[in-house]
Amino acid sequence: MIVRAAVPNHESRITNHGSIRILGIDPGSQRTGVGIVDIDAAGRTTHVFHAAVNLLDNDDFPLRLKQIFDELYEIVLAHRPHEVAIERVFMARNPDSALKLGQARGAAICAVVAHGLPVAEYSAKEIKQSVVGGGGAEKRQVQHMVSILLNIERKLQADAADALAVALTHAHARASAQRMRAGVALATRTRGTTSSWRSFR
């Protein structure tokens, strides 16, 4: 028997007109964190949704994988993200734990790719560096900074906070890439203008 986590299945209260909606995933074999943010053209981020999918009520591990797939599939339907970011798997000391984590991550990726969504991957160090400013930050520092950056007053559950941190990392990477493209385009136009001006001399 499959036991589902209590994840709301409804349309997002925050619309994303002119924004890109990003789904962040912190995969786990006991709990999988989910966080969604919107990023507008100016690079501002807004909190949309977060949850921790509890898998502990399923003793059978294959059913946990199915639950991850089912829950994430439904979350995508409810909130309609444009892009997905997921934490890259790390090498755990326990090979069995690493294997289960990799399988949980695979189930999550399959769920979003089934909707045709692109997936970006970030290491734990990259996420901490992006959100906190240091790759060696502790979990509580990540939780604190996510709350500040997204203006969330209530205390965040750890896995949900990590998922929002993944989404924020992708949002920051997107904004940086956009600024870089804009800078290159401006430099190209400037060189063209300078060349045209000199042709009149």
> 119: which strand partners?
84
d(CA 181, CA 146): 27
Please indicate whether residue 159 is annotated as part of the active site.
yes
Catalytic residue (one of 26, 38, 71, 83): 26
Active-site residue 57, yes or no?
Answer: no
Catalytic status, residue 96: no
Q: Tell me which of 38, 71, 83, 87 is the catalytic residue.
A: 87
Nearest to 103 by CA among 159, 30, 51, 162: 30
> Which residue in 38, 71, 83, 159 is the catalytic one?
159
- Written as one string, the DSSP assignment of the chain is -PPPP----S--SS--TT-EEEEEEE--SSEEEEEEEEE-TTS-EEEEEEEEEE-TT--SHHHHHHHHHHHHHHHHHHH--SEEEEEPP---SSHHHHHHHHHHHHHHHHHHHTTT--EEEE-HHHHHHHHTS-TT--HHHHHHHHHHHTT--SPPPHHHHHHHHHHHHHHHHHHHHHHHHHHHHHHHHHHHHHHHHHTT-
Catalytic (active-site) positions: 26, 87, 159
